[in-house]
Amino acid sequence: MKTINLGYFKNFGTARLEKLKRYLQKNLQLEIRLIPLYQDQIEDSFEENKIDLALTDPRDHGYSNYQVIKVSEFGLEAVLQAGNFMSGQQTIEISELNKIPNLLVAQKNEEQGELYYHRDLLGIKSPFLAVDNFNEAALMAESGSGYFLLNEDTAKFFESPKLQKMFLLKDGIQLKQEYVVVMKKEPTNEVKQVAQALKKNFDF
């Protein structure tokens, strides 16, 4: 059975990907190997032939030398200590969070990339504090030490009466996170099959 190396932005988590992996292996008769990556590793991994395609958030990466297929998008949510805002509040403006630390979930070599995304692309003006993983971020948020961001698909795994989740707005417009498949301009037939199957079945 041929193996396809599927890189993915590790902040997406694996719950949906494991489900998709089982579907792809069953229906395409391909072995799918999931490889967690951070943003700046995607293109290097292609160049070093470590991955055949990638599922990622494009942010401001052009990927001009690759094929890019949008597969889905989810609203971004701020996750913070319950009680800071009204319990029924569903949305929040970025500016309302300016005085609360923004917890950047990143290892040392990822911090600059995540800082750039939060500060320069999203326009967050909160003080920033790096943490190693989302479980640590959740514990710190519960204690009132800051807030962290997740899209609505991954945020559902952090349910706690001590946490409140609100969709993030910027000047009244909801911020979203895109999921795209990136692959070489002339992929193999197997890679094309995986990319199309991901697009077709991503939200199943």
pLDDT, one tens digit per residue, over 100-122 is 999 999 888 889 989 999 999 99
Cα–chain center distance at 166: 17
Confidence of residue 204 (pLDDT cuts 50, 70, 90): low
Closest CA to 28 of 204, 196, 149, 144: 196
pLDDT for 198 beyond 80? yes
pLDDT in tens, 83-100: 988 888 999 999 999 999
d(CA 140, CA 61): 31
d(CA 26, CA 21): 8
d(CA 140, CA 145): 5
